């Protein structure tokens, strides 16, 4: 479990008070010596309107969350990291104008639930009154151009292919007047971005879009983490604020559905490591938060949910705007790009972009020389870049051959996303499957064409051995890069791969089970059939703690042991809380939050003194219940894609005081 980090947001006087973190992160956007900077640029005279205090608070809060997301590092970036350090424990104390509103249950619950899912971290917020009342209007640089009073949509505009296609659809094809909102964190891309906006306005003619840039950045010493999984919260806050100014109750993200739905491309890439920027659950969470703040229904849309990246690129070309593709920027590794090569070619965004451009037949507008590593023929060093590409290829290959039933069995997350999409579940499921099949066919088409085009070079072995073409055409397969030497598949398999679990029952297809405590407990039981393991031992083995750290009966222990036990229980409670929020169970959320807060208070109290603490007499019972509940949840998740395995586990896994898996003659689990 990651240690709690405290982030103090506001002036020292406003955020004063005891905290659990001996070295809290201090952020300030106002007053003397600010280390978080926000400036609104290029705003036309007349657009700006006074906005409610709640929305000014929203902008400040989003900027602080964005800065903290980069100031607090995650543990480990390797693909085989089991995720122990990935999830952070973040407590914010924030000075706001409307503490009463931010403390209210609808606002607070929507904020915590949405951010927790968005970045896969644990969030807590303490809102304190702001003593200074700075005006957001003081941070605006107007462009001097009069506003004609017409804006039909507010569109988030990053300058990547998806947002470019959205702007093309709105302004060029539909001839609608839109306001493009851009968040600018670095000056490196500014010239390319302005060239793109200029060309877009030229193509749109009388419907030329308005454009506003919001610069949000922080001092360099706060840059410790590059993943920026909470960035879309800042985007949403900006979009909502500008929509509110011009009298709209909605704004739009444009992002292809394959990225939005966030299905893991491999067991090594799960959770928020794959972006959840516009995941349907996140957008619904933004809607709930903004509705509570605005006091009226607010809508956040993604019109490209049913588009692949290739569909998006084709839309740009079909609109006669192919020239703009080369001026867009998708790369996530800005620190390695140059003016001549604005794309690294290594990151997932570059791989996705290049496949889409090639599949759409528009490579003339996006030359291979603009990438640090060529997608098809570039040499890839051993490590994450090669693993990511191999996983991408192998997933497309498998999905291209899957039936609808096999697809939802293989990707359990696809089934769980349906509840956030609305409409008829069966029809929505078919659309999700169709989206991913179309994407797979487009990727596989590029690979097939590349092999044909390089047949002579393949025969002569003149291409680098680690380039894409050689990886898929030589004796092995791309899968070898991500899984290592292959072994005969066992009929009964429950084994960790990356952060996830790969399971197989009775010789059926392999399925991915997303990580959870319950899955880890099942793994321990299946590894030792017919062996009783106490709940405390299970919890300690999974948490990698010594047995004497387990919660026990009443009695005193030294602080380190007691703290370790409490923290292990807190980790269980956080997983239960995530599940309750996803299931929209307010009763369970309230119960778990209450227990978790009491536990945190005890941890803070114990950590703050050198004495001893006494453990509660019912600690063993709490662990027993937590372990049993986690196992039952995991079996329920397995039932979504393999009812036979779930039934087998239900019959043969017993919980209680001595959990055990009763073996079946002829079944030997590979774990």
Q: Where are the domains of the chain?
A: 1-329, 333-486, 511-661
Compute the average pLDDT of residues 441-448: 97
What is the predicted pLDDT for the residue at 142?
63
Instruction: Give the DSSP letter of residue 375.
Output: T
pLDDT value of position 132: 81
- Does residue 167 have a pLDDT over 50? yes
What six digits make up the tokens of 582? Answer: 């996803």
For residue 46, what are the CA distances in angstroms to 55, 79, 141, 149, 247? 19, 50, 13, 8, 13
Spatial CB neighbours of 544, under 8 Å, sequence gap ≥ 6: 84
What whole-number distance in Å separates Cα of residue 368 and Cα of residue 376?
A: 9
What fold characterizes domain 1-329?
Rossmann fold (3.40.50)
Residue 226 predicted with pLDDT over 70: no
Which residues lie closer than 8 Å to 429 by C-beta, 6 or more apart? Answer: 404, 408, 414, 415, 418
72 phi/psi in degrees, rounded to 5: -110, 115
Most confident of 171-175, 505-509, 512-516: 171-175
Q: How far apart are alpha carbons 537 and 535 in whole angstroms?
A: 5
Q: Is the pLDDT of residue 488 over 80?
A: no
Taking the C-alpha atoms of residue 648 and residue 639, their distance in angstroms, rounded to an integer, is 10
Q: What are phi and psi of 597, to 5 degrees?
A: -65, -40
Tell me the pLDDT tens digit for each residue of 112-143.
Answer: 999 999 988 889 999 999 998 777 777 776 66
DSSP 377: T
Q: How high is the pLDDT of residue 609?
A: 40
Contact 354, 313 (CB under 8 A): no
pLDDT in tens, 567-606: 666 766 776 787 777 776 777 777 788 777 777 766 665 5
DSSP label of 86: T
Residue 81 has pLDDT above 50, yes or no: no
- Section 508-513 average pLDDT: 85
> In the prediction, which pLDDT does 605 show?
59
First to last CA, the chain: 24
How does pLDDT run across 635-658, given as a tens digit for each residue?
998 998 899 999 999 999 999 889
DSSP 229-240: TTHHHHHHHHHH
How high is the pLDDT of residue 652? 96
Q: What is the pLDDT of residues 1-53, one digit of tens each?
A: 456 899 999 998 889 988 888 899 999 988 888 999 888 877 776 677 788 99
User: Under 8 Å CB-to-CB from 249, ≥6 apart: which residues?
Assistant: 243, 294, 296, 297, 298, 299
pLDDT at 550: 44
Residue 264 has pLDDT above 70, yes or no: no
User: Is the pLDDT at 233 greater than 80, yes or no?
Assistant: yes
The pLDDT assigned to 98 comes to 97
pLDDT one-digit tens code per residue, 329-350 = 999 888 889 999 999 999 989 9
Confidence of residue 461 (pLDDT cuts 50, 70, 90): very high
| The residue to which tokens 């915590």 are assigned | 112
- Encode pLDDT of 349-364 as tens digits: 999 999 999 999 999 9
In this prediction, residue 620 has a pLDDT band, given cuts at 50, 70 and 90, of: confident
- Top mean pLDDT of 133-142, 295-304, 474-483 is at 295-304
The pLDDT score that the predictor gives to residue 359 is 98
Across 83-87, 446-450, 584-588, 599-603, the highest mean pLDDT is recorded for 446-450
Decide if pLDDT at 548 tops 60.
no
What pLDDT does 558 receive? 36
pLDDT band at 618; cut points 50, 70, 90: low
In this predicted structure, the answer to whether residue 617 has a pLDDT above a threshold of 60 is no
One DSSP character per residue, 495-519 reads: EEETTEEEEE-TT---EEE---HHH
Say what the pLDDT of residue 120 is.
84
CA–CA gap between residue 341 and residue 186 (Å, rounded): 17
356-360, 427-431, 564-568 — which one is most confidently predicted on average?
A: 356-360
Distance CA 24, CA 475 (A): 54
Q: How many CB atoms lie within 10 A of CB 66?
A: 26
Q: Is the pLDDT of residue 612 over 60?
A: no
Are β-strands 89-96 and 122-129 bridged in parallel, bridged antiparallel, or unpaired? Answer: parallel
Strands 178-184 and 210-218, by their bridges, are: parallel
Residue 615 pLDDT: 47
**Confidence class for position 148, pLDDT limits 50, 70, 90:** low
Three-class SS of 183-226: EECCHHHHHHHHHHHHHHHHHHHHHCCEEEEEEEEECHHHCCCC
Asked whether the beta carbons of 90 and 5 are under 8 A apart, the reply is: yes
Does residue 289 contact residue 114 with C-beta atoms inside 8 Å? Answer: yes
Q: Are 7 and 121 in contact (CB under 8 A)?
A: no
Region 132-158 average pLDDT: 78
Q: Is residue 410's pLDDT more than 80?
A: no
Give 324 or 415, the one with higher predicted confidence.
324
Residue 560 is predicted with a pLDDT of 52
Distance CA 568, CA 580 (A): 19
The answer to whether the Cα torsion of 647, 653, 654, 656 is positive or negative is negative
- Of 71, 55, 52, give the one whose Cα is nearest residue 8: 71
Which ranges of 319-424 does DSSP label H, i.e. alpha helix?
A: 348-359, 384-399, 404-410, 412-416
CA torsion sign for 647, 648, 654, 659 is: negative
Are 47 and 246 within 8 A, CB to CB? yes
How confident is the prediction for the chain on average, in pLDDT? 84
From its phi and psi, is residue 327 left (phi > 0), alpha (psi between -120 and 50) or beta? alpha
pLDDT over 70 for what percent of the chain? 83
Residue 407 confidence (pLDDT): 85
**Lowest-confidence region among 201-205, 212-216, 228-232, 407-411:** 407-411
Q: Which of 50-59, 243-252, 490-499 has the lowest mean pLDDT?
A: 490-499
Neighbours of 470 (CB within 10 A): 21
What is the Cα–Cα distance from 578 to 156, expressed in whole angstroms? 28
Pick 556 or 371 by higher pLDDT: 371
pLDDT band at 152 (very low <50, low <70, confident <90, very high): very high
Burial class (CB in 10 A: 0-12, 13-18, 19+), 484: exposed
Percent of the chain scored above 90 by pLDDT? 52
* pLDDT beyond 50 at 273: no
């Amino acid at each position: 479990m990651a240690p709690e980090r405290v982030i103090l947001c506001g002036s020292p006087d406003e955020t004063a008070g005891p905290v659990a973190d001996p070295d809290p992160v201090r952020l300030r956007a106002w007053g003397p010596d600010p280390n978080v900077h926000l400036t609104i640029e290029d705003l036309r005279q007349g657009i700006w309107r006074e906005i409610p205090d709640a929305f000014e608070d929203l902008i400040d809060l989003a900027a602080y969350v964005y800065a903290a997301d980069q100031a607090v590092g995650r543990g480990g970036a390797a693909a085989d990291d089991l995720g122990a350090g990935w999830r952070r424990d973040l407590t914010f104390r924030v000075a706001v104008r409307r503490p009463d509103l931010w403390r209210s249950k609808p606002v607070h619950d929507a904020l915590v639930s949405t951010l927790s899912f968005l970045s896969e971290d644990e969030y807590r917020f303490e809102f304190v009154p702001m003593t200074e009342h700075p005006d957001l209007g003081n941070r605006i640089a107007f462009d001097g151009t009069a506003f004609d009073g017409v804006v039909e949509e507010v569109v988030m505009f990053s300058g990547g292919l998806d947002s470019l296609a959205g702007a093309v659809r709105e302004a060029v094809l539909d001839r609608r007047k839109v306001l493009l909102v851009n968040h600018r964190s670095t000056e490196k891309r500014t010239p390319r971005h302005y060239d793109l906006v200029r060309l877009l306005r030229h193509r749109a003619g009388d419907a030329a879009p308005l454009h506003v840039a919001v610069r949000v950045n922080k001092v360099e010493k706060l840059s410790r983490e590059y993943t920026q999984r909470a960035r879309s919260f800042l985007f949403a806050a900006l979009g909502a604020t500008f929509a509110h100014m011009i009298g709209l109750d909605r704004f739009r993200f444009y992002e292809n559905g394959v990225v939005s739905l966030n299905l893991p491309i491999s067991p090594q890439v799960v959770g928020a490591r794959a972006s959840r920027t516009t995941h349907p659950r996140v957008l619904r969470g933004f809607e709930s938060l903004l509705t509570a703040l605005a006091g009226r229904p607010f809508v956040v849309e993604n019109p490209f949910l049913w588009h692949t990246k290739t569909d998006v690129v084709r839309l740009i070309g079909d609109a006669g705007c192919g020239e703009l593709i080369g001026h867009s920027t998708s790369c996530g590794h800005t620190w390695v790009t140059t003016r001549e090569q604005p794309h690294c070619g290594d990151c997932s965004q570059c791989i996705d972009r290049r496949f889409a451009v090639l599949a759409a037949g528009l490579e003339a507008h996006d030359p291979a020389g603009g990438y640090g590593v060529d997608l098809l023929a570039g040499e890839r060093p051993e490590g994450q870049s090669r693993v990511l590409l191999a996983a991408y290829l192998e997933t497309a290959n498998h999905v291209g051959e899957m039936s609808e039933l096999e697809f939802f069995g293989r990707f359990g997350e696809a089934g769980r996303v349906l509840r956030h999409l609305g409409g008829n579940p069966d029809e929505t499921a078919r659309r999700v499957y169709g989206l991913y099949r179309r994407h797979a066919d487009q990727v596989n088409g590029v690979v097939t064409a590349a092999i044909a085009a390089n047949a002579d070079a393949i025969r002569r072995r003149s291409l680098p051995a680690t380039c894409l073409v050689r990886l898929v055409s030589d004796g092995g397969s791309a899968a070898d890069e991500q899984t290592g030497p292959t072994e005969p598949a066992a009929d009964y398999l429950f084994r960790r791969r990356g952060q996830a679990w790969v399971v197989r029952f009775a010789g059926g297809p392999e399925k991915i089970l997303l990580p959870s405590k319950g899955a880890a407990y099942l793994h321990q039981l299946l590894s030792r059939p017919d062996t009783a393991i106490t709940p405390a031992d299970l919890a300690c083995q999974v948490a990698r703690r010594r047995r004497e750290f387990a919660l026990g009966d009443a009695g005193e222990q030294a602080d380190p042991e007691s703290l370790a036990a409490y923290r292990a229980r807190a980790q269980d409670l956080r997983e239960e809380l995530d599940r309750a929020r996803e299931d929209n169970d307010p009763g369970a959320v309230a119960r778990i939050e209450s227990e978790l807060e009491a536990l945190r208070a005890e941890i803070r109290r114990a950590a703050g003194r050198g004495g001893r603490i006494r453990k509660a007499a019912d600690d063993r019972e709490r662990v027993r219940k937590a372990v049993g509940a986690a196992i039952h949840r995991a079996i329920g998740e397995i039932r979504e894609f393999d009812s036979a395995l779930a039934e087998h586990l239900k019959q043969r896994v017993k919980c209680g005081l001595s959990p055990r898996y009763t073996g079946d003659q002829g079944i030997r689990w590979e774990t």
